[in-house]
Every structure is written in structure tokens, then in C-alpha cells.
Amino acid sequence: MSADPNSPKRNMPLQRTRNIGIAAHIDAGKTTLTERVLFYTGMIHRIGEVHDGQATTDWMEQEQERGITITSAAVSCKWKQLEEDGVFKNFSGQEQRVNIIDTPGHVDFTAEVERSLRVLDGAVVVFCGVAGVQPQSETVWRQASKYNVPRIVFVNKMDRVGANFANVVDDVRNTLKANAFPVLIPIGAEDQLKGQIDVINKKAVIYADDDVFGSTYTVNELSDDQLAQAEEAYGALVEELVDADEEIGLKYLEEEEITVEDVKAGLRRATIANKIIPVAGGSALGNKGIQYLIDAVVDYLPSPLEAAAAEGHKPGDEEEIIKVTADDHAKFCALAFKLWSDKFGKQVFIRVYSGSVSKGDQVVNPRTGKKERVGRLVQIQSNQHTDIDTCFSGDIAAIVGMKGVKTGDTLAAPGFDIMLEPPAFPEPVISMAIEPKTTADQEKMSHALARLSDEDPTFVVSTDEETGQTIIAGMGELHLEVLQDRMKREHSVQTNAGQPQIAYRETITKITDGDYKLVKQTGGKGQYGHVILKIYPNKRGAGHTIDNKVVGGDIPREFINACLSGIKEAMNTGVVAGYPVVDVHVDLLGGSSHDVDSNEQSFKMAAILAVKEALRNADCVLLEPIMTVEVDTPDEFQGAIVGDLNRRRGKIGQLDTKNELCVVKSEVPLAEMFGYSTDMRSLSSGRASFSMEPSHFEEVPKAVLNEIIEKRMGVAA
């Protein structure tokens, strides 16, 4: 890294830049929080509400109509830290730039969260002050942990009836096993929410009753009760920092005074190292506690210089790890984390990890080996685009008009051989057949589907070989419904869709051999390919793995790739009901060849048929997607709700009580959950609510298997 990693041309140094995401369970208040951050930082001059369809980051028509976030939106704002007695609390009052990505909460759009967390340096995870940790918030937490993203927790909706800050902190500690410590404790709750206790500075922040926008507040001394609360929280935090941070631990051992400045610096280091999670409480909709939360983002979440270095490898060599650090003077390297098409053209969203890229520069895509010139660079502000000349390290921007780029591709300077780790996306769990309402729209539909599947890695388009139907697959009914709506609005294609189908999978339960010799002689040059292999059950979720164990040239080297290709293709259609086969390891052991008649196609076919033979003897089973379902219901409806889940082949887990509601946690096959929302409301007189997210795949019971096979094969049950 250079002595000064900042280019003299950049507006805001890396040290004063934060790239953060706001993530949570649906309806926890992410978009409302983002709107307040933009308002208090002066980026917008009027607060737009989600329920009015006016939120800045919910710019799509579908988002405004449904009141949910569907696509992650990037916005940027500037923040000057708050003063106390005329003195800035940190960073000498220098202006900071905070880049924010507001992510969806609905499980159907989990890909948006996954790819956002992959490129961000920190996250604010929002929890509802009443509901606490909910299923999708657990998923978000796991995603953030996977990419080692430092986090701050914001306990929102503290002005709602039943809100309890301490309970949510305990929930975060116990359910998520997070080392959470309050730094901004709400003063009051429900309709008595007044402000926050600043634990580290030991001050009370009180918001003015006559300012509905929450812009006016006073910083007061703590009352005796508040001081006792602050002292207890401060003592617990310092005690934890002694263990978590080397510098604080050393001061403690040498019996030196640990100052407020020491605690702030130590907490920053511990947060960046993912050893401590600072927790703040407030209300975004009630306009209380947001300014100090932005301060906490600046104080405790990392700049691109402090974030963990991005890791990549040379194309074709995954052994050699290359680390990339933020430095404007280094070679250019960026990750394309999102594609989007609109009236401005095809946009490739990039996070620059090192170097810089300017209009007119040539970049190379290591996956394809192709070079391309950067025609237009834009800074994204929700759905507003501003042309820029250069994008520096640590920045998020978009390149317009670039071809041949997929989500997860690396873009690098010519001669810089590196492939960054792409985000990982879950497999679709639901599919349906789709066709245009008029045959004249067939080509338009194909074009629309291609563009939408380019943008969304969890949206898969395929053709059923037997029926010729177009099949679309995604993460849930809402996901596919929104995509059909987008085809209608953005591409003027009206479609008819079949009933949703479950994305079943097949797998094997025992080790078997496959041996197939393809011999065809039809006059002239024939076909000859002989493949011997062995298949083994893989650990659930491990996917397909293949080892080439051919020795002595039994299969000539030039035909090995054809064999591997055949093995992979054979896994697309299982022998139980024709669904894809998962979690299988294959050893390619050997075979034989013919000097004249052997070719790539012969060996590919022989490999496919050898796998099919092995699968027929491997006691294959059908797997179905299982969902984690959590229902919040008043006590009097608990019996009816549990009984209904049992009828749906659900396995009831925990029964908890939270805020006078019974929380029923269960695992239920996705096939049994269609229409559940209507039935649940009927059973509870409209007073219960539920959330659902994919959990794992499980073997289909024998009693249900025949029915599925008959439906799949088109035979009436």
C-alpha cells in the first residue's frame, strides 16, 4: 500500500468514507431508517414514508404500491459529527461520506441482501423493539457473518406498544450468539420514548416535543436512575473490552487510567474485528435517535482502509490467494455485484477494491478473458444517475453499456490476473410454466426473461425438454409474481402462468458403480466410448464433486473434459422423477478407447449413460424444500394454529411467549404452505402473522412420493 492511499483527485479521503448496508427482517423499518438518515444528513429536504409510497430508496412502482423493498438501492450522503459544548466528539468535526445500501427484508429477495453484504464494509442490522430476532433477521445475520461484516444493531420501533430494549438485547445475545453491548439506551418506551442515554459520554439526549421532524434535541446531564443505568452498561462494556482489545487489556493490567477516548478507540477496533456488536435504540418513524446512530456508524464501523482485504485468486489457480487492499495508486480491481437494465441502458454496479477506473479506460473480465472499454461511469443515488469521470478504490458506482458481464464477475486492469470471490446465491425453491398471452410476444418474452435472469441470479429460466414449455424458477411466489409484473411494465409482455411447482431434488443413498461402453457402427466412421466410474453420497449441501482418477491413458487426455461434461449433464435429470440430482461425488476411474471411432461426443454420451446406470442402483430418494415457519398468534388460537401446521406435515419446534403473543416455530414442507396466509388468518380471526424462509432439503415420505411422481409424469392420481 502507498504511504498515502488517497488519490489527490478524490473528493473524500478513504479514512472518512463508510460503505454500509441496512438489513433486517421484513417490516423492521430499514427503509424508514434510511429515509431519516438522508433527511438528517441534508440529502433530502422532505421525509418520504414507505406507507405513502414516497420513500427515496423505494423508487420502483412495485415497491411503492406494495410498501416493500424489492431491489437494493444505493444512496450516498455526507455527515458532520455532532457537537457537545461546541466541541466535536470525534474526527475534529471533519465531514464524512456514508454510502448506504438499503436492502429488502422479504426472503424472496434474499439475493439482494447476499450481494450487498458481499461488497460492504459494515452493516446496521435493524430489529423491531417488540418482535426482536425474527427468522429473516437470523438469515441476514448469517449472511453478514459469512462475509465477516462488522455490525451495529439498531433496535427500532421503541415507541410501539410492547417495545422492550433489554429483551431485544438479550434476544440478540442468546439467539444469534452475538456479543452485543448497548451504547445508546432508549430513555422511556412506547409513548414515553424521549431520547437516548449516551453510555460512553454519560449524557442524556432529549428530543424536543415540539419538533415533529426530530431535528431538535438537547444534551443534558443524566438523572440518578439514568446514571446508574449508564454506569452499569459502561462497566460491562469496559470489562468486555479488557478481554477483546489488546490495548485496553494492557492498560488494565498496568493499572493505567482507561479514558473515554480509549474506550471509543477500543470499541472501534473490537467492532471492526467482529468481537463486539454495539447496540443503539430509538424510533425511525418517531424521528428519535437517528443522529447519534449515524455518529456510531462513523465511530465504530470501518473505512475501506480498515475493512478486511478482499481475497481473490489467479484464473485457473485457486490455490494461490491474492489479497487486495484499498489504494488508489494500485492496479484497478473491482467486483461486479449487480446488473440492472432500465431506460439508461444496462448498468453494471461495481465495488472498486483497489486502484481507480476512468471513462475511456480498458478493463478485462478474467472469466471471459475479454477486454472492454469503459464508456460511461455513473454515481447512483437511488434512481438518480450522475455522470462521473473516475471511480476510486472503496467507491460504489455503475458502468453503463458494458456487455458480457455476469453478477459476481471481476473487472481488472489489463495484466492484473485476479478473480475475486463472487457472492454465493441460494438455489430456487419454486417454479412455474409461463407463456406469452399472444404468440406474437414470444420473442419479446424470451428477451425480457434473458434480461431479468441476467439481473437476478436466483431467477432461473429453462425449457422443459418434454413439453417445450418455458419454466421460470425463483425464491417464492412473490418473487415470481413481481418478475411477471416487471415483464408487463418494463417490457410490455403480458404472460399466463401455470400453477407454482416445487423445486424437488434427488440424491443417492449408497455407493454404486457405473460402467458403460458405447459402441455404434453405422457404416463409415463409428462411435466408441467406454467409461467406468463410481458414485458416492456427498454431505447434504456439498453439491457435486468429481475426482479424475484415470491412470495409464485408459481414457485419452483429450477426452477427459468430455467425460466430466457428461457426468455434470447426467446430474440434471434423476431416475426417481426426473428432478436434478444433488450432493453426489463421482470418481472417474477409467475406460477404454478406439483409435479411429473414439471422439468427444462418444465419451460424453458414455459418461452420461454410466452415471444413469449407477444412479439406478444407488437407491435414489426424492428431496423436498423445508421451510422454517414462525407464527405469532394470541394464546387462544395456539391450538388451532399448531393443529393446522401438523396437518401440513409440520414438525413443531419451540413454543415461546413474546409480548403477550404465542410464538410457534416449526419446519414445514414448502409443498404444504400454498395458501397458508389465508388459512392462518381464518383460524385466528385475522390476528396472527407469520414469516417463512427456506431451511434445508429433506427426504419426501413414501406416502407422498407416489403422488409427486404421478403428477410429474402427467398420470392422474
Q: How far apart are CA 52 and CA 638, in angstroms?
A: 34
The CATH number of the domain holding residue 117 is 3.40.50.300
**What's the helix, strand, coil split of the chain in %, to 5?**
30, 35, 35
56 Cβ contact list (under 8 Å, min separation 6): 34, 35, 38, 44, 48, 73, 75, 382
Task: Quick: pLDDT tens for 498-537.
Answer: 878 888 899 999 999 999 999 987 666 788 999 999 999 9
pLDDT of residue 249: 93
Q: What is the pTM of this model?
A: 0.75
Q: How far apart are CA 188 and CA 168, in angstroms?
A: 15
486 & 601 share domain: no
610 & 548 share domain: yes
In a domain, 82, yes or no: yes
596 & 607 share domain: yes
In a domain, 3, yes or no: no
- Given 619, 654, 669, which residue is the final one in a domain? 619
The CATH number of the domain holding residue 351 is 2.40.30.10
Q: How many CB atoms lie within 10 A of CB 230?
A: 21
386 exposed, middle or buried (CB, 10 Å; 0-12, 13-18, 19+)?
exposed
In a domain, 103, yes or no: yes
- For the record, the C-alpha cell of 515 comes out as 460402467
pLDDT of residue 90: 46
In a domain, 10, yes or no: no
The CATH number of the domain holding residue 534 is 3.30.230.10
- For the record, the C-alpha cell of 57 comes out as 430508496
- Domain membership of residue 238 as a residue range: 15-300
Q: How far apart are CA 404 and CA 369, in angstroms?
A: 11
264 & 405 share domain: no
Task: Quick: pLDDT tens for 131-174.
Answer: 888 877 887 888 888 889 999 999 999 999 889 999 999 999 99
Q: How far apart are CA 676 and CA 489, in angstroms?
A: 29
129 & 249 share domain: yes
- Given 420, 453, 486, which residue is the final one in a domain? 420
415 & 462 share domain: no
Q: Residue 91: pLDDT band by 50, 70, 90 thresholds?
A: very low
393 & 352 share domain: yes
469 & 482 share domain: yes
511 & 559 share domain: yes
604 & 646 share domain: no
In a domain, 637, yes or no: yes
Helix ranges restricted to H, 332-471: 442-455
47 & 115 share domain: yes
In a domain, 425, yes or no: no
Structural domains in the chain (count)? 5
177 & 245 share domain: yes
Q: By C-alpha distance, which of 458, 434, 433, 455 is closest to 445?
A: 434
Task: Quick: pLDDT tens for 168-200.
Answer: 999 999 989 999 999 999 999 888 999 999 999
The CATH number of the domain holding residue 477 is 3.30.70.870
In a domain, 378, yes or no: yes
Q: Where are the beta strands (DSSP E) in 60-157?
A: 73-80, 83-84, 87-88, 95-102, 122-128, 151-156
pLDDT of residue 49: 57
pLDDT of residue 46: 64
Residue corresponding to grid cell 435493524: 126
- Given 387, 420, 453, which residue is the final one in a domain? 420
Residue pair 354/327 in contact (Cβ under 8 Å)? The answer is yes
Task: Quick: pLDDT tens for 469-502.
Answer: 888 888 878 888 888 888 888 888 888 888 788 8
Q: How far apart are CA 222 and CA 231, in angstroms?
A: 11
In a domain, 6, yes or no: no
